[in-house]
Amino acid sequence: MTNVVVVPESSVDPDITSGVAQFLGPVVVDLTALAVDGKQAHWHVRGANFQAVHELLDSVVDHAHDYADTAAERVVALGLPIDARIQTVGTKTTTPQINAGFQQADAVIAQVIASIDATLVTVRTAVDELAELDAVSQDVAIEIARGLEKDRWFLFAHISN
């Protein structure tokens, strides 16, 4: 007869796990929207500084993917699923819609900055709410905020005087 040891999916209190998912789930959704819309902007940017903005937008997209993956993996590591299917993202994101078609770099940058700003609101909510709930998950949100703020700075430098 074999002894079967039952190991719980996570050693973290289920109430904490649920709270982490409540605050990091929307972060994953907004970051996924930022990545998809950033790629749309990347394909359609026009203007004198096309190449620099085109490449910078690729970097923003890559970062958004990485940040979304980090936040999603934190939730999944705690034993809960995450829903970032495109249908879910399309209905739950707080990011503004990016215009379709070709646009001048300044307009594209302003729209992507608006998406980063909306995502940062969601991330900062997670930072605040996770402060007393789970320090490890809060650290994930803080790191995402730090990275998004840097991406925002790099984009803003293209349109500031």
pLDDT at 11 over 80: no
Distances (CA, A) of 113 to 14, 25, 50, 67, 158: 36, 21, 17, 17, 11
The pTM is what?
0.92
Give pLDDT tens digits for 45-88. 999 889 999 999 999 999 999 999 999 999 999 999 999 999 99
DSSP-assigned letter for residue 27:
H
Q: Domains in the chain and their CATH numbers?
A: 14-159 (1.20.1260.10)
How far apart (Å, rounded) are the C-alpha atoms in residues 93 and 12?
A: 28
Least confident stretch, 10-14, 17-21, 134-138, 142-146: 10-14
Sign of the torsion angle spanned by Cα atoms 62, 128, 121, 158? negative
Q: Where are the beta strands (DSSP E) in 10-151?
A: 45-46, 103-104
Q: Name 1's bridge partners.
A: none
Distance CA 66, CA 44 (A): 23
108-147: pLDDT as tens digits: 999 999 999 999 999 999 999 999 999 999 999 999 999 9
